[in-house]
């Protein structure tokens, strides 16, 4: 069993860390909001600083909101870089910039450490069920070493390529999921305003060519008006910003991604930034002057 560290114990990080403890690993924990008592009761060890986690653990996982947060965790005052020793590994499971990921990897490699980008898909439900899809950017030898650890948190773990490849794959994932969620909202508004029962429509659509997990999960949320965050709009906005910036650098046009980002922006303006990304329907409902569901 390994000595692991985990930094960032929010909606996603808390259950992911719990699976590592249940897997028999010694787990050193840090979160700026405090380490949940449930994790320490299960055997997790709370640390006073990020640096302390780096000093005690062999492999450290980070799960924080954005690129600047990862940079601060690794290279900030009392950060990981101040406590790391040669041969240790940092696994970032956040969703951040592919370009900055490559920079972080290079800086840590100069310290004699390995770096892995391993963003996840599956949301809070996947984190709780240990059924996440994990997209990995790493050297193959490093991947083979840490794969059993990742498999405690995810059902599908795939090596995509070198550093940055995992993050690029995750942005592709979030482009596709955003457009699927937006399409689900449009379809339900269309049918509902025509006078159909959206519950019956959704049931029918789930058996046809329109089926997707986004339609199934988010369609139900839209109809039931359940916008408690699984994946917040403000985080999906962040991810699409990263995708659009990367696309601009590559000279790639993503017109529907840009449009969906504008709808997320409008939904955020309708007091939805911290609501589930299915709340994108609010912007479309405003345009249609019609509300789906109760």
Residue 202 lies in a domain: yes
Residues 50 and 188 grouped into a single domain:
no
116 C-beta neighbours (distance < 10 Å), count: 25
* Calpha distance 104→139 (Å, rounded): 14
- H/E stretch holding 4 reads strand 3-7
Residues 12 and 35 grouped into a single domain:
yes
* Calpha distance 98→250 (Å, rounded): 13
Question: Span 172-201, mean pLDDT?
Answer: 97
Residues 125 and 175 grouped into a single domain:
no
pLDDT in tens, 197-228: 999 999 999 999 999 999 999 999 999 999 99
pLDDT at position 119 is 98
Residue 66 lies in a domain: yes
Question: Span 84-91, mean pLDDT?
Answer: 96
Residues 128 and 178 grouped into a single domain:
no
Residues 219 and 247 grouped into a single domain:
yes
* Calpha distance 167→180 (Å, rounded): 20
What's the maximum distance between 2 C-alpha atoms anywhere in the chain? Answer: 65
Catalytic residue among 14, 51, 170, 238: 170
The rounded percent of the chain whose pLDDT value lies above 90 is: 96
Residue 10 lies in a domain: yes
Question: Span 1-8, mean pLDDT?
Answer: 93
Mark whether 224 is an active-site residue: no
Instruction: Examine the fold and report which residue of 133, 162, 191 is the final residue of a domain before the chain moves on.
Output: 162
Residues 98 and 189 grouped into a single domain:
no
* Calpha distance 27→254 (Å, rounded): 41
* Calpha distance 109→280 (Å, rounded): 41
Mean pLDDT of the residues in the chain: 96
Q: Which domain holds residue 25?
A: 3-162
Residues 172 and 157 grouped into a single domain:
no
Residue 50 lies in a domain: yes
Report H helices in the chain: 13-22, 37-41, 50-56, 67-75, 98-109, 123-129, 140-150, 165-193, 198-205, 213-224, 233-250, 255-267, 281-288
CB 39 within 8 A of CB 9: yes
CB 267 within 8 A of CB 278: no
Question: Span 98-103, mean pLDDT?
Answer: 97
The pTM of this model reads 0.93
Sign of CA dihedral 39, 44, 45, 48: negative
Q: pLDDT band at residue 78, thresholds of 50, 70 and 90?
A: very high
Residues 112 and 69 grouped into a single domain:
yes
CATH number at residue 281: 1.10.1040.10
pLDDT at position 294 is 67
Residues 259 and 283 grouped into a single domain:
yes
* Calpha distance 71→80 (Å, rounded): 10
| Tokens 């900030």 belong to residue | 76
Question: Span 167-190, mean pLDDT?
Answer: 98
Instruction: Examine the fold and report which residue of 109, 137, 162 is the final residue of a domain before the chain moves on.
Output: 162
Q: DSSP string of 202-264?
A: HHHHTTSTT--HHHHHHHHHHHHT----SSBHHHHHHHHHHHHHHHHHHT---HHHHHHHHHH
pLDDT at position 293 is 77
Residue 294 lies in a domain: no
Cα angle for residues 241, 245, 247 (degrees, 5° grid): 115
Sign of CA dihedral 46, 47, 53, 56: negative
Q: pLDDT band at residue 262, thresholds of 50, 70 and 90?
A: very high
Number of domains making up the chain: 2
Question: Span 74-98, mean pLDDT?
Answer: 96
* Calpha distance 168→118 (Å, rounded): 11
Residue 239 lies in a domain: yes
Residues 192 and 243 grouped into a single domain:
yes
CATH number at residue 14: 3.40.50.720
């Amino acid at each position: 069993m390994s000595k692991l560290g985990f930094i960032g114990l929010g909606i996603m990080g808390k259950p992911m860390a719990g699976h590592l403890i249940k897997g028999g690993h010694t787990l050193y924990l840090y979160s700026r909001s405090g380490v949940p008592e449930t994790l320490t009761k299960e055997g997790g060890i709370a640390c006073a600083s990020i640096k302390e986690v780096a000093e005690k653990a062999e492999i450290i996982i980070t799960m924080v909101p954005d690129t600047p947060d990862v940079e601060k965790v690794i290279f900030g005052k009392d950060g990981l870089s101040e406590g790391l020793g040669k041969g240790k590994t940092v696994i970032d499971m956040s969703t951040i910039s592919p370009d900055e990921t490559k920079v972080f990897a290079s800086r840590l490699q100069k310290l004699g450490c390995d770096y892995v980008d391993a963003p996840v898909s599956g949301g809070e439900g996947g984190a709780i069920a240990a059924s996440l899809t994990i997209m990995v950017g790493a050297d193959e030898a490093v991947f083979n070493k840490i794969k059993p650890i990742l498999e405690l948190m995810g059902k599908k773990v795939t090596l995509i390529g070198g550093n940055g490849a995992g993050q690029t794959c995750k942005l592709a994932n979030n482009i596709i999921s955003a457009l699927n969620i937006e399409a689900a909202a449009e379809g339900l508004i269309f049918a509902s305003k025509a006078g159909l029962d959206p519950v019956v429509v959704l049931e029918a659509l789930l058996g046809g060519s329109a089926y997707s997990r986004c339609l199934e999960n988010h369609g139900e949320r839209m109809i039931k008006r359940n916008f408690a965050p699984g994946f917040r709009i403000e985080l999906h906005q962040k991810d699409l910003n990263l995708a659009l910036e990367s696309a601009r650098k590559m000279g790639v046009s993503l017109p529907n991604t840009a449009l969906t980002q504008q709808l997320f922006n409008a939904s955020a303006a309708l007091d939805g930034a911290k609501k589930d990304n299915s709340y994108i329907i609010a912007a479309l409902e405003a345009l249609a002057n019609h509300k789906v569901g109760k």
